[in-house]
């Protein structure tokens, strides 16, 4: 059991190293923002995390990633930056393909909608939001 | 609400805890004259906006006290009316843009007003400091120091739906 645990941890560690190496060539801090960073996700309120995780899982499945995260992995990723970075790197890499553009735009939209759930909605913004939703084709 | 709870526009209640103002999209407590809302398709929560003209400006807080502005703002919220990379919404607590106590409002000092329409002027020149870049931690420390100082002085008024028109 200890050997298995060690093997599992080693795999995660190596995976983390690989993701880190690849992620250094991807700029997560410049738009388009296909996915939240770990810092953005980690500070969300629980109901926002639940919403975003569901949306993320739903759309990531469509990207045809070799190792699409399962619900349990997503939950773990939310607690561990390295794990989150692995998923984020995979998503960004997939979003470099035009074939995935529609799905990636939905991912980007899910990120924004998650933040809207808790934004400090001043009167002007609520009015603008209502006007956008009336004209939105989504 | 009673019990130091906030009723949100989504109908949820939230314990205000030690927050005396309001919460933004990232769940953090907003700081007047420091927290801003931005278009999150262009900026990430936590991105810092440096506005050199603001550095050292004396800001009077809504309920007394003052602090010297560090020249940095931090993206902590979003809003439906805030679109594009050159538009921000500056959180100023309970005082709307026409309130005489609002340093950034229409009755604030001309070199601090953030509500003037028309062409941009030198007072509003800004640059973005993204997370992970060399200057980010230093800028964040400056913001945090200012927040701590301002918090030690102020008795904020909690933002109200009617107070921000």
- pLDDT tens track for A27-84: 999 999 999 999 999 889 889 999 999 999 999 989 877 666 777 777 778 888 888 9
pTM across the whole model: 0.79
pLDDT band at residue B163, thresholds of 50, 70 and 90?
very low
A31, A43, A119 ranked by CB distance to B78: nearest:
A119
Minimal CA separation from A34 to chain B, in Å:
9
B36 touches chain A (CB under 8 A): no
Query: B61-86: per-residue pLDDT in tens?
Result: 766 778 899 999 999 999 877 889 99
Q: To 5 degrees, how large is the angle CA B41–CA A70–CA B76?
A: 25
User: CB atoms < 10 A from the CB of B102, how many?
Assistant: 25
d(CA A112, CA B78): 9
Minimal CA separation from A126 to chain B, in Å:
7
pLDDT band at residue B3, thresholds of 50, 70 and 90?
low
Are A43 and B27 inside 8 Å of each other by CB?
A: yes
Q: Any residues with CB less than 8 A from the CB of B28 and at least 6 apart, and which?
A: A43, B35, B76
């Amino acid at each position: 059991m200890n050997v298995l645990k060690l093997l599992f941890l080693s795999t995660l560690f190596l995976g983390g190293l690989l993701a880190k190496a690849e992620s250094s060539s991807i700029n997560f801090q410049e738009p388009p923002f296909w996915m939240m960073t770990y810092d953005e996700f980690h500070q969300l309120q629980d109901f926002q995390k639940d919403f975003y995780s569901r949306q993320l899982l739903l759309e990531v499945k469509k990207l045809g990633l070799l190792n699409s995260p399962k619900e349990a992995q997503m939950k773990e990723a939310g607690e561990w930056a390295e794990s989150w970075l692995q998923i984020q790197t995979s998503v960004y890499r997939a979003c470099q393909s035009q074939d995935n553009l529609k799905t990636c735009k939905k991912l980007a939209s899910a990120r924004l909608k998650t933040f809207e759930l808790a934004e400090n909605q001043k009167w002007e913004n609520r009015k603008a939001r209502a006007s956008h939703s009336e004209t939105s084709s989504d | 609400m009673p019990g130091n709870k906030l009723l949100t526009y989504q109908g949820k209640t939230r314990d205000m805890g030690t927050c005396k103002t309001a919460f933004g999209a990232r769940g953090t407590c907003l700081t007047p004259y420091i927290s801003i809302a931005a278009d999150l398709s262009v900026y990430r929560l936590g991105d810092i906006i440096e506005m050199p003209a603001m550095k050292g400006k004396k800001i009077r807080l809504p309920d007394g006290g003052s602090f010297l502005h560090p020249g940095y703002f931090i993206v902590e919220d979003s809003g439906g009316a805030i679109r594009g990379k050159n538009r921000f919404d500056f959180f100023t607590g309970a005082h709307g843009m026409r309130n005489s106590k609002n340093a950034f409002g229409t009755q604030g000092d001309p070199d601090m007003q953030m509500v003037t329409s028309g062409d941009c002027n030198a007072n509003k020149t800004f640059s973005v400091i993204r997370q992970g870049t060399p200057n980010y931690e230093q800028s964040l420390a400056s913001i945090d120091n200012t927040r701590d100082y301002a918090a030690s002085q102020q008795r904020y008024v909690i933002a109200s739906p009617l107070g921000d028109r």
